[in-house]
């Protein structure tokens, strides 16, 4: 069994993703015996092959929410993974609004390449073999239903805090002591009326939730200018949690 997370991309926000100042292909999680692809944004297919990862090896596809920086390559990846629906893959997990009838981010013909599609929401547990995928607190994120996610088995847990504006409820809406916790930390400090987490929000969450290891990712231009590395170092000092700044292609074992 192996537990590792590879960053296919680390960009966040319109400018960084859609000018490709950083890559944006989401994350490849190896968890227990399974490969889980999370948030395949623009370029995910290319980044996978670049890293020697094969879409056909993915067991679980997860979209945290429907925004294009998290889903743009899901169709290309499913086409590859299912050999154009001829070899069905087990499962896709996403919020219901990602597959809205007339506005689905997954093309209808490719949905037929999946044995099951499960809609995640707050409090829902989806079982897959010996692991469970839990929908956590609903985020405030304009234009897309978005939920925190926990993936766990008997021995390890991985928690993903996707995009959203910070609110106090998040301090109770996430489990304590995760083995690895990833935060989409777009800014260094909160930006009014923009629904994204900042490093000062993440500091509050780390102090309360104390994961064994944390990674910040999904960076805006503002964050890149401030240096994610420095921001991560400061967070580590302030919280006593090991905090890593993600880089394109970075692989972290946990
Ligand atoms: Zn979003
Ligand atoms: Zn985003």
Q: Which domains does the chain have, with CATH numbers?
A: 2-253 (3.60.15.10)
Query: Ligand 1 centre from 234 Cα, in Å?
Result: 26
Write the pLDDT tens digit of every residue in 115-124: 999 999 999 9
Query: Ligand 2 centre from 86 Cα, in Å?
Result: 31
Write the pLDDT tens digit of every residue in 51-74: 999 999 999 999 999 999 999 999
Nearest Cα to Cα of residue 228 among 197, 188, 201: 188
Q: What is the pTM of this model?
A: 0.98
Query: Ligand 2 centre from 242 Cα, in Å?
Result: 23
Distance (Å) of CA 116 to CA 122, 171, 193: 19, 32, 37
């Amino acid at each position: 069994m192996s537990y590792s997370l590879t960053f296919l991309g680390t960009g966040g926000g319109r400018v960084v993703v859609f000018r490709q100042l950083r890559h944006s292909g989401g994350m490849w999680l190896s968890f227990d015996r399974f490969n889980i692809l999370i948030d395949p944004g623009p370029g995910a297919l290319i980044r996978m092959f670049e890293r020697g990862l094969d879409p056909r090896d993915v067991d679980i596809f997860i979209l945290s929410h429907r925004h294009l920086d998290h889903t743009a390559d899901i169709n290309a990846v499913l086409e590859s993974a299912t050999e154009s629906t001829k070899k069905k893959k087990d499962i896709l997990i996403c919020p219901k609004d990602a597959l809205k009838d007339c506005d689905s981010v997954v093309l209808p013909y490719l949905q037929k390449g999946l044995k099951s599609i499960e809609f995640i929401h707050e409090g829902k547990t989806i079982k897959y073999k010996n692991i469970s995928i839990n929908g956590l607190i609903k985020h405030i994120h304009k234009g897309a239903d978005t939920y925190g996610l926990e993936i766990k088995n008997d021995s390890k847990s991985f928690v993903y805090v996707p995009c959203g504006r910070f609110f106090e409820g998040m301090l109770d809406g996430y489990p304590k002591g995760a083995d690895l916790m990833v935060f989409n930390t777009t800014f260094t400090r909160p930006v009014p009326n923009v629904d994204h987490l900042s490093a000062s929000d993440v500091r509050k969450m780390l102090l309360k939730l104390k994961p064994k290891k944390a990674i910040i990712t999904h960076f805006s231009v503002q964050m890149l200018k401030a240096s994610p590395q420095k921001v991560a170092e400061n967070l580590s000092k302030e919280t006593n949690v090991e905090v890593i700044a993600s880089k394109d292609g970075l692989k972290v074992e946990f």
